[in-house]
Amino acid sequence: MNLISTMNGSGLNSEINKRIPNRKEQENNFFNYVKSLDNPIKKVYPGDFDPELCFPPKILNATIHPLVASFFNLGNDRIITRYKNLNPQVDVNILRNYLEYNPKFFKWAASDFFNVIDSNGKRQMIIVESGSCPSGQSDMPLLNINNKRQNGYTFLTQTAFKQALKNTDPSLGELAIVSDEGCYTIEVAGYAAAISEETKEHVWVVKLPNDAEYEQPIKWENQIMYIRDQDGVWHPIRACFNYIDKPWCYYPLKSKTAIFNHVISCLAGGHNKIMALKSFESFNNELSGSGLAIRFPETICNVNKSEVPSYIEKMGGRAVIKAPYDSLGKDIYIITNSEELKKFLDANIPYEKLIVQSLVENRLWSEKLHPGKFYHIGTMPDDHNQIFVNDLRMMVTTDEAGFHPVAILSRRAKNPLPTYLPNNSNWNSWNIFGTNITDESDSNEALEYERLITIDQKEFDITGFSIDDLIDAYVQTVLSVIAIDKMCQKLLENNEFNYELFHSLNPDNVLLGELLL
């Protein structure tokens, strides 16, 4: 089977057979191989799905950890029962309503978590980011290794993407998946093949060039998206799977072409950390009295760059600064000393507004635990008794029945968490606290794949996560998605964008200038 056919009709299978690294080679070589298949326009047909080309060898041949498999087999009813036993203050009926909630706009999402303790020593999962159209499916071992065609790519297509297709007019055009340079090419291939398999239609795969000198292969006419093939022919698209970083630069808020996820879900919090915080705060007010709340570190939003030093000082000299609209760990500055603050102040950040967030740190760095702060639990100690900061990504999909977990993954920082805070110029806070595995020092943004903790029988125990941690993260993810979806509905009421409300919540004129209204 050839996964993707090029426009001139020549298959890639012979090239794939020659060039796929053998399983003894490093996993990064597989990703470098995938990135080398760089045709900007491709076409996928029904029957082209090949699991060996949609998962790296390490993942495809991994046996999922039984604890993780148990979590995925629980179902929402048993999750509610367990969650109630652990949290007797929670209103079960409200929790059930939220787990059965079918979002209007934000149908596929993920949240990233740290496993922490608070000042009272209470263990919990806290959200550090939420994302629309998230990566990570290729890092999830198969739930049934004997049925490799039933996987997360397929499940997402059968649930959330199927809903997006429901109200489209088949006569309007074809199907497409549009990505940019920041996406994981292997996952684009996986989703495209799964969509084609499920719909029994071909799917266009379009990669947008970063270079502004190149003409973009997409255009809009009468609210319909068109993609240009390699022969220069334009094709109307009725539904587009969005896998780009800043979709508001390419897709209008109102369109006849269905965009999955809808652009408003990205603006309202899926790719906008400021609006995510506003959504969480608003929804937490609504949740008052239910025993439920979205948990996140202390966060100040809409901060001007010149104001950052004063906020850092108020947070005790240690904090995280984030450009609100980037992903893959870009433009995140972890500040623990004056040198790192100077590096941030010297950096060229194109947007007007920033986020300053309390740093989740090592409890050993303070004589006492401070109310309002969180402290890393980290991985299980290794053979050298070292602990690493690690995260958990919980990915969910939705359909008429409500929410479903679809994938989880965990990543660790490059260096272990020290027992004291060094005071020297060689200190690099990102290496201690940064868990994103994209290496920005590499011109191709290669993946530091050795920092991915595989959710299998060999590695998952390293994470230290219990099944109750996974349940907690799932419920928190559901609440975060609903919060952002409710904000979407406020911002796009009766299909009209509420510009005034958005500007009042997120007054960044650079961002506003990017919107394709």
Rounded Cα–Cα distance for residues 83 and 87 (Å): 6
Q: Are 241 and 205 in contact (CB under 8 A)?
A: no
Q: Are 447 and 437 in contact (CB under 8 A)?
A: yes
Q: For the chain, how many residues are written?
A: 517
Q: Domain ranges in the chain? A: 5-62+145-269+490-514, 66-136+272-300+361-487, 301-359
Nearest Cα residue to 269 out of 474, 110, 381: 110
346 Cβ neighbours under 8 A, 6+ residues apart? none
| Cα-Cα end-to-end distance for the chain | 42
Q: Are 27 and 58 in contact (CB under 8 A)?
A: yes
- φ and ψ at 228, to 5 degrees? -100, 125
Rounded Cα–Cα distance for residues 270 and 267 (Å): 6
Give the angle subtended at the CA of 410 by the CAs of 259 and 339, to the nearest 5°: 95
- Per-position b or e across 87-123, b if 16+ CB within 10 A of its CB: eeebeeeebbebbebebebbbbbbbbbbbbbbeeeee
- φ and ψ at 292, to 5 degrees? -110, 150
> Given this model, what pLDDT does residue 255 score?
95
Q: Are 134 and 182 in contact (CB under 8 A)?
A: no
CATH code of domain 301-359: 3.30.1490
- Provide the 8-state DSSP code for 516: -
> Given this model, what pLDDT does residue 442 score?
46
Rounded Cα–Cα distance for residues 371 and 362 (Å): 15
- φ and ψ at 497, to 5 degrees? -75, 125
> Given this model, what pLDDT does residue 440 score?
54
Burial class (CB in 10 A: 0-12, 13-18, 19+), 6: middle
CA atoms within 13 A on the CB side of 70: 10
Alpha helices in 122-236 (DSSP H): 152-156, 162-166, 185-199
Mean pLDDT, consecutive 10-residue stretches, the chain (517 aa), reads 36 35 45 52 91 87 96 98 97 98 98 97 96 94 80 96 93 95 82 96 92 80 95 96 94 96 97 98 97 98 98 95 86 93 95 97 88 96 97 98 98 94 82 84 62 96 98 99 99 95 97 91
SS3 401: coil
